[in-house]
Amino acid sequence: MYQIEKLTKTYTQGKRTVHALRDVSLRIEDGELLSIQGPTGGGKSTLLQALGGLDRPTSGSVVLDGKDLATMNDAGLTRVRARTVGFVFQNFNLIPTLTAQENVETALVPAGAAKADRARRAVAALESVGLGERADHLPGELSGGQQQRVAIARALVKDPTVLLADEPTGNLDEDTRDEIIDLLEGLWKEQGLTLVLVTHDSAVAARSPRRIRIAKGRVKELTGR
């Protein structure tokens, strides 16, 4: 469970101070599927980065399973990212010179998994996203939808409890978008994940049981909680 209290993030751009998040308070239950919508520059990615311990807030707290990511030391944050939280991005962020399997295996290195264990788990993760046959393909030999499947396998191979997805369908056509959302929804249900999905796409957000909107750094519930 996430308990976020008075989360504020400011950036300095030259002489200007940008308030990316202003006093955001939010609770996200275990196993919840939450989508985040809002205009560009509203603070969506900043919130996701705070949830994943990728960036420290200016003030406030982000408590995940009783531990505050806002004040945790670097070693603690590395552990959270290695074990507890998986990320999926709009641009897939695969390493172009590594095969699909090798890309997935990279996620197991920080937690110290042995080579044989990494290989076995990476193949199983690729199978779970329907890409068992493509394990030895390079990203450049795969379609956008297939590359995003590899990225999803990489995010989930470490058995995280939380999956954070930042515009995961932003670079895909409508059919592929629907396939990827079907896949994420299926994995969310099967694995009991907490899934937080940033999306510009109302058709994607409409499938979430809970939706929030972030604009000018402030959060509004759209589903009447």
Minimal distance, residue 38 CB to ligand ATP, in Å: 6
When the beta carbons of 18 and 109 are compared against ligand ATP, the nearer one is 18
Minimal distance, residue 103 CB to ligand ATP, in Å: 24
When the beta carbons of 38 and 139 are compared against ligand ATP, the nearer one is 38
Give the integer Cα–Cα distance in Å for 79 and 3.
19
When the beta carbons of 107 and 214 are compared against ligand ATP, the nearer one is 214
How far is C-alpha 31 from the chain's CA centre? 14
Minimal distance, residue 4 CB to ligand ATP, in Å: 15
Q: 């980065």: which residue's tokens?
A: 49
Minimal distance, residue 33 CB to ligand ATP, in Å: 19
When the beta carbons of 2 and 153 are compared against ligand ATP, the nearer one is 2
Give the integer Cα–Cα distance in Å for 156 and 104.
9
Minimal distance, residue 44 CB to ligand ATP, in Å: 3
Can you count the helices (H) and strands (E) in the chain? 7, 10
Please answer whether residues 150 and 103 qualify as being in contact, where contact means their C-beta atoms are separated by less than 8 angstroms: yes
DSSP E strand boundaries for the chain: 2-13, 16-28, 33-37, 59-64, 67-68, 85-89, 162-166, 194-198, 210-215, 218-221
When the beta carbons of 22 and 83 are compared against ligand ATP, the nearer one is 22
When the beta carbons of 105 and 167 are compared against ligand ATP, the nearer one is 167
Minimal distance, residue 12 CB to ligand ATP, in Å: 7
State whether residue 3 is helix, strand or coil. strand
**Residues at the site binding ligand ATP, with contacts judged by CB under 6 A:** 11, 13, 18, 20, 38, 40-46
Give the integer Cα–Cα distance in Å for 133 and 153.
14
List the 162-166 sheet strands across, edge first: 85-89, 162-166, 194-198, 33-37, 210-215, 218-221
